[in-house]
Structure 1
Amino acid sequence: MRATSQDTAGGVRRTRNAAQTREALLQVASRRFARDGYASTTVREIADEAGVNVALISRYFASKEGLFEACLAAAVTDLRRDAGDTSLEAIAPSIARRMVGATSDGGRLPDTLLLLLRSSGDEHVDNVRREFLQSLSERMAAASPAGPETLLRAQILLATTLGMALLRTSMSIQPLAAATEQDLLGPVSDLVDALLAEKR
C-alpha cells in the first residue's frame, strides 16, 4: 500500500510506502528500547532516526506503548523462528551464532534478547514477555536428559544468555563484546553440557 504524504521539512509532496515506514519505525524503536530502555526513549527520537514525521507513530501504533508492544511481538516472533532446532547438540551452536549474527528482520539477536528484559509497565506486555521466556526455557529443558532439575537448569542457561547479551550490547564489556562465534562456541558448549547434559 502506497500513500502520498506532505514532507514537513520542505513542503514537497513525496510518496511513502506505509509498510516500509512501519518497518523502519519498528527497527529503530526495537534498537532504542533495547539499548536505552522504554522510559529513556522518546517517540521524537525514534521518528527522527527513522526519517519520518512523529505523527506516524500514532497512526500506525496508536501510542508509544503500542509501538513497544509491536516491537516485543516482533521480537518474540523472530526468536521463535530463530529457535529452530532445539536438540541438545544444537543449543550451544545456536546461542553462539545468534549472539553475533543477524536475525531474520535484519536486527541483531542481542538487541532482540534485551528487548525481552525491558518493561513498559503494561501488564499485558509483561505477560507476553514472561510467557515467551517460560516457553523458551521449557523447549531447552525438553532437549535435556538431565532429570527433574532440568527446567531450573534451562532457566539458568537462559538467564546466562540474557546476561551475555547485556554485557555485549549495552555495556560493551571486553573481550565478550568483541568475541566471535568461534570464540563463544567453546565456553557456551561447556555451559550447556554442565547444565543440561545427562550426568554420569
Structure 2
Amino acid sequence: MTADSPGPTKAVVASAADEPAAHRPRDAARTRQLLLDSARRRFAHDGYSATTVRDIADDAGVNVALISRYFGSKEGLFEACLVSATEELKRVAGTVSGASKVPDAIVKQVLGAAPGELPNEVLMLLLRSSGDERAERMRVGLLRTFTERLASTAGWHADDPGGDDLMLRSQLVLALALGVTVLRATSGLEPLASATEEDLTGPMRDLVAALMPQVP
C-alpha cells in the first residue's frame, strides 16, 4: 500500500455512506467506467506514485469515496486498469489476421488508435510500476503475454528448443514500440512526435522485418 492511497480514500468512506441517496450517482456502471478511464489516463501519463485517488476522482467528477466502493483501493484501481489494458491488447491482437499485419498493429497501438483514447495510453500504462506485488505480477505477465502473442505470429512455440531467440526478438520489438511511445508522449521530438500512421507504418515494417525475418 502506498502512502497516498489510504489517507484520502479511507477518510471519506464514512461520509459517502452518510450521503443522501438523491446525491449519489444513479448509474454505477457509468461511474465505475468514468473512474477507470480517468485512472488509466493519470497512471499512463503521470505515473502511479504521482497520481492520487483525489486526482482521479476529480478528473472523473465524482466523490473520491467511490474509488473504495468500486475498486477497494488505489492498488485495486491500478489492477483494474491493467485488466482493461489486457482486454484492449487482446482486441487488437484479434484483428491481426497474419504475421504481415504485426507492424500495422504495433503502429496503431503506438498512436493510440482506439476512439476517444489518449495517444499511447495502453503502452504507457505497461511502463508504470505500482510497487504493489500483485499488480506488478499482472503488469509483467501482460508484457510477457504480449510478446508471446507476437512471437507466435512468427511461428514460436513454448516447447520449441530454439524458441528463445525468437522470444528475445519479440521482446526487442516490444521495447521498440514502448520506446517510440515514450518519445512521442514526452519529448516533443520532431518529426517523430507528430508522425502519422502513414508516416510510421513503413519504417516500423522495416524495423520489425529486421528483427524478425519470419514476419513478411
Letter in 1 for 2:169: R
> Which residue of structure 1 aligns with residue 201 of structure 2?
185
Q: What residue identity is the alignment partner of 1:193? A: A
Confirm or deny that 1:24 pairs with 2:34: yes
Please state how far the C-alpha of 1:26 moved relative to its aligned partner.
0.5
Relative to structure 1, is the Cα distance of residues 15 and 126 closer, same or farther in structure 2, using a 3 angstrom cutoff?
closer
Query: 2: CA distance between counterparts of 1:63 and 1:172?
Result: 34
Give deviations 1:152-174, integer Å, cap 9, x for gaps.
11110001101111111233332
Structure 2 alignment gaps of length 5 or more = 1-17, 157-161
* C-alpha distance in structure 1 between counterparts of 2:151 and 2:23, whole Å: 55
Bigger Cα displacement from structure 2, 18-27 vs 86-95: 86-95
Letter in 1 for 2:42: R
Match of 2:57 in 1: 47
Q: CA deviation at 1:109?
A: 5.7
Residue in structure 2 matching 1:112, options 122, 133, 146: 122
1:17-166 aligned within 5 A: 17-84=27-94, 85=96, 87-103=98-114, 106-108=116-118, 110-144=120-154, 148=163, 149-166=165-182
Aligned-residue offset at 1:124: 1.4
1:119, CA displacement in angstroms?
A: 1.2
C-alpha contact (below 8 Å) 1:72/1:115 kept by paired residues = yes
Deviations 1:127-172 (A, max 9, x none): 1111221121122122226975211111100011011111112333
What amino acid sits opposite 1:160 in the alignment? L
Task: Return the offset for 1:113.
Answer: 0.8
Q: Is the 8 A contact 2:169 2:211 kept in 1?
A: yes
CA contact (8 A) 1:92 1:189 kept: yes
Cα distance in 2 between the residues matched to 1:151 and 1:81: 22
CA contact (8 A) 2:79 2:138 kept: no
- 1:177: Cα distance to partner? 1.6
1:176 Cα deviation (Å)? Answer: 1.4
Q: Normalized against structure 1, the TM-score is what?
A: 0.86
Query: Could you tell me the percent identity over the aligned residues?
Result: 49
Question: Which runs of at least 4 in structure 1 moved beyond 4 Å after TM superposition?
Answer: 145-148
Aligned pair count reads 191
* TM-score, length basis structure 2: 0.80
Distance 2:210 2:155 in 1: 12
Greater shift after overlay, 126-135 or 150-159? 126-135
C-alpha displacement of 1:88 = 1.8
- Root-mean-square deviation over aligned CA pairs: 2.5
Which blocks of at least 5 consecutive residues in structure 1 are unaligned? none
Q: 1:170 aligns with which of 175, 178, 186?
A: 186
